Chain A
Amino acid sequence: MESPKLIRIANISGRYLVFDPDAVSALRRQANTNGTLVGTTPQQPTQNIFLGLPIELRPEEVDALIRTNVAYVVDDVAAHKSALQSLDPDSRRAYVSSLRLRKQTAQKVFAEINAQKASITASKKNKKARDSSSAVPSTDLGTADSGALKSDGNPSPRNSQVTLLGVTPTSSINYVSPDANALPEEPRNSEKGSLCQFMLGSGYYMTPGLRFGSRYSVYPGDPLRFHAHFMANEYGWEEEIPILDIVGGGRLATAVKKAFLIGGRKPSTSPDMVTSPVRTFSIEWAGM
């Protein structure tokens, strides 16, 4: 492998996912690819914000990353199957003990938080008791009673919860050989995705463009630091673009202080693999 670590992209049922947090940050820092967070918990799934790892990448982004030799794609289902079947007793034991260690750590953290909470409520109760000792004593007794009941009842289910707590690793990178079942690099020869490739190569970041009615929102830097400059659509070289789409896209983009970008690459006519440059056009309302 090359000195900058190649990023492992998992292909699972046709989707391209990156699970490893370090790989995600490397993609963002070095390959200006932020992807879309799509991970959620099986229980209490959040709606569409506050999602976590993994990130999903677009097929054309993956294509561009393969072309620039930043990443490689793995058939993750096959990799997991073969890893599970070929697990020797030693690595199996190592895996189980690492899970146990994580579980213990989680347990410890949980117990600490519980203890902290308990001490806070205890100090509150003490204060309350001192404050109201001069007032009616019967009510004080009542609150103290219910509090005692709670503090009696609370820890025991919590504790049982802690013992039941399982740890699901967010990434299986330590247990599945990273190179296993790597898919052959197949840089697509079509012109499709050439705009995405061009923009990634020019240092632009992209997020889904649906909220502005286009394919990409294009940022001059990290989307957390910049506003988008363009809403972009890729077209085939001879693909028909209705003028009404240009008017609509141009008008909307200008209204949100962006330019409407259309672009694509002319298919190379000669077979000697010399690709023609990507042509892009920026469209803004003329203000007249």
Chain B
Amino acid sequence: MDGPHRYSADVASAVFENLQDQHQWASLEILSIPGLSRPMIRGLPPRLLYLHPDDQIAALAYEKSAGTRAQHDAEFEWVLAVHLAEKWTLSNFAAVMDALPDDRKGAKRIVLAALHNDSTVVYYIVQEGMIKPRQN
């Protein structure tokens, strides 16, 4: 009956624990979002997870002129937990993006967590629109 729901809840809780224990995220919670069939994880990474390349350049310029590093506070992230064997569609991703609150400047982003059977979790940043890559 609630097989699919159990499944996505299990995937979410595995990723939840990985974030908590391996990556030291704080304030983690699993939330159900209206309009989404899957639970979403929200949490605070130990340091800022993503900085737009233009802000990276600005931070470097600041560091050069001020002599101290630009301070960037960590931001709360939305995490979508999926299993590696799943198949997603553009419409699925668009539905997730649309369901999330627009509470940040810049493009909407989620962290896509792909879980494998050996409990490996890999994390990808998915942003809405054509966002140029970071210079790392």
A residues with CB within 8 A of B: 199, 202, 204, 218, 220, 229-230, 235-244, 246-247, 250-251, 253-254, 257-259, 261-264, 266, 279-288
Given A257-B133, A258-B133, A282-B131: A241 touches B90 (CB 8 Å cut-off): yes
**A243 B89 Cβ-Cβ under 8 A:** no
**A241 B87 Cβ-Cβ under 8 A:** yes
B residues with CB within 8 A of A: 23, 45, 49-50, 82-91, 93-94, 97, 107, 111-112, 114, 122-136
Task: State the CA gap A199–B130 with chains docked (Å).
Answer: 9
**A243 B84 Cβ-Cβ under 8 A:** yes
**A261 B91 Cβ-Cβ under 8 A:** no
Task: Tell me which residues across on chain A come within 8 A of B129, comparing CB atoms.
Answer: 280-282
> What are the 7 tightest A-B residue pairs by CB atom distance, in nearest-first order?
A286-B123, A240-B87, A259-B133, A282-B131, A282-B127, A250-B124, A229-B132
**B123 A281 Cβ-Cβ under 8 A:** no
Task: State the CA gap A78–B42 with chains docked (Å).
Answer: 63
**B112 A283 Cβ-Cβ under 8 A:** yes
Closest-by-CB residue of B relative to A249 is B124
Q: Provide a sorted-by-A list of 12 A–B residue pairs whose CB atoms are within 8 angstroms.
A: A204-B130, A236-B90, A241-B88, A242-B87, A243-B88, A244-B84, A247-B122, A281-B127, A281-B128, A282-B129, A284-B125, A284-B127
Given A253-B133, A285-B124: A279 touches B49 (CB 8 Å cut-off): no
**B133 A284 Cβ-Cβ under 8 A:** yes
Task: Tell me which residues across on chain B come within 8 A of A238, comparing CB atoms.
Answer: 89-91
Task: State the CA gap A240–B135 with chains docked (Å).
Answer: 30
**A243 B86 Cβ-Cβ under 8 A:** yes
B13 to chain A, nearest CB (A): 18
Given A243-B88, A247-B114, A286-B49: A279 touches B126 (CB 8 Å cut-off): no
**B91 A266 Cβ-Cβ under 8 A:** yes
Task: Tell me which residues across on chain B come within 8 A of A262, comparing CB atoms.
Answer: 90, 93
**A243 B87 Cβ-Cβ under 8 A:** yes
Task: Tell me which residues across on chain B come within 8 A of A244, comparing CB atoms.
Answer: 84-85
Task: Tell me which residues across on chain A come within 8 A of B87, comparing CB atoms.
Answer: 240-243
Task: State the CA gap A281–B94 with chains docked (Å).
Answer: 9
Task: Tell me which residues across on chain B come within 8 A of A199, comparing CB atoms.
Answer: 130
Q: A259-B131, A281-B126 are in contact. List 6 more A-B contacts (CB 8 A).
A: A199-B130, A230-B130, A241-B87, A242-B87, A247-B124, A281-B93
Task: State the CA gap A229–B124 with chains docked (Å).
Answer: 17
